[in-house]
Amino acid sequence: MTLKTISQKLLYSFVSFLLLTIGTAQAGNKMTNIKQLLNTYETALNASDTKTIMTLYSDTAIFMPQHADAQVGLENIENAYKHVFKAINLNVEFTTHEIEKLGDTAWARTSSAGKTTILANGAIIDEGNNELFVFKKENGSWKIHRYIFSTTSPQK
């Protein structure tokens, strides 16, 4: 084996390693972005932080809260959260069951469980929901594009 051949092999190995590293980092980054978005949503929801929540939605988002019509557009979504946070205080934890990315669109299924405090009387009740999200990449950042949740608590 000549010195030239060895140099070439080393160069190929290095390039392969570099490409693999970049590829893995990018895939990891993409995945982290949606998980991070969900983590930020969880924290903001528990803090009744409408301002932060609104930064997570796409410009043409639709939110489907339980017991209400679909909230189309950012203004309606913001009012819906303000309305909810006047009535309750959430303390829930999200579990991400699956995330699938398809180009600039993605969807995720999560569930959440914890406690809700009714602000009117201080009562604390169990809270449990399933959630389905559709995300859109907007200017390079993943945003919530469609979002619906539904209670898992038995019917009264």
For its own copies, the binding residues (CB under 8 A) are: 62, 64-70, 97, 100, 102-103, 105, 107, 109, 111, 130-132, 134, 146, 148-155
Alpha helices in 3-126 (DSSP H): 3-46, 50-55, 74-87
Compute the distance between CA of residue 6 and CA of residue 19 in angstroms, rounded to an integer.
20
The pair of structure tokens assigned to 54 is 């609104």
Rank residues 4 and 67 by Cβ distance to its own copies and give the closer one: 67
Q: How far is the CB of 66 from its own copies (least distance, A)?
A: 5
Q: Which of 93, 77, 86 lies closest to 39 in space, CA to CA? A: 93
Rank residues 50 and 71 by Cβ distance to its own copies and give the closer one: 71
Q: How far is the CB of 100 from its own copies (least distance, A)?
A: 7
Rank residues 93 and 100 by Cβ distance to its own copies and give the closer one: 100
The pair of structure tokens assigned to 155 is 């019917």
Check: CB of residue 58 under 8 Å from CB of residue 73. no
Task: Count Cβ atoms within 10 A of the Cβ of residue 38 and give its class: 0-12 exposed, 13-18 middle, 19 or more buried.
Answer: buried
Rank residues 20 and 68 by Cβ distance to its own copies and give the closer one: 68
Q: How far is the CB of 45 from its own copies (least distance, A)?
A: 16
- Give Cβ neighbours of residue 119 (< 8 Å, ≥ 6 apart): 86, 87, 88, 89
Q: How far is the CB of 24 from its own copies (least distance, A)?
A: 24
Q: How far is the CB of 138 from its own copies (least distance, A)?
A: 15
Rank residues 85 and 149 by Cβ distance to its own copies and give the closer one: 149
